[in-house]
Amino acid sequence: MDDNSEKTIDQVYERLKKHAELTGYYLNPDDKFTKYLIRSLLINQKRYGYWACPCRLASGNRKEDADIICPCVYREPDVEEFGACYCALYVSKEIKDGKKQAEPIPERRPPKRKRTVK
């Protein structure tokens, strides 16, 4: 089976949507955009073996990229402060309901030289 088939993307979409809502997050209501990001996550899964963030440059080293494996460690503060994660895959209820517009989100991940790998 093609991992990136529409059916697989729809299944992952439903699973993420359900899980997000159980944990206080929402998927971006723009389904086309959200499914595009999901497709990118599945491509990264194939490429690196893990869900590297589709909006950042992954190193290919799981330990180095641990902070940007989706959902990344920056999701919580970004959704809290800006209403969306860096990629805008996950959004707040206000944005999901169209009560607030998503705004550009500055990169919260420190530059490589300032990162500590555990």
Stretch touching ligand SF4 by CB under 6 A, among 11-19, 58-66, 87-95, 108-116: 87-95
Residue 85 in the binding site for ligand SF4 (CB under 6 A)? yes
The only residue of 55, 59, 102, 109 in contact with ligand SF4, by rule CB under 6 A: 55
Q: Among 70, 82, 92, 95, indicate the residue that binds ligand SF4 (CB under 6 A).
A: 70
Among 12, 26, 38, 90, binds ligand SF4 (CB under 6 A): 90
Helix (H), strand (E), coil (C) string for the chain: CCCCCHHHHHHHHHHHHHHHHHCCCEECCCHHHHHHHHHHHHHHHHHHCCCECCCCCCCCCCCCCHHHECCCCCHHHHHHHHCECCCCCEECHHHHCCCCCCCCCCCCCCCHHHCCCC
Q: Binding residues for ligand SF4, per CB under 6 A?
A: 37, 53, 55, 68, 70-72, 74-75, 85-87, 89-90
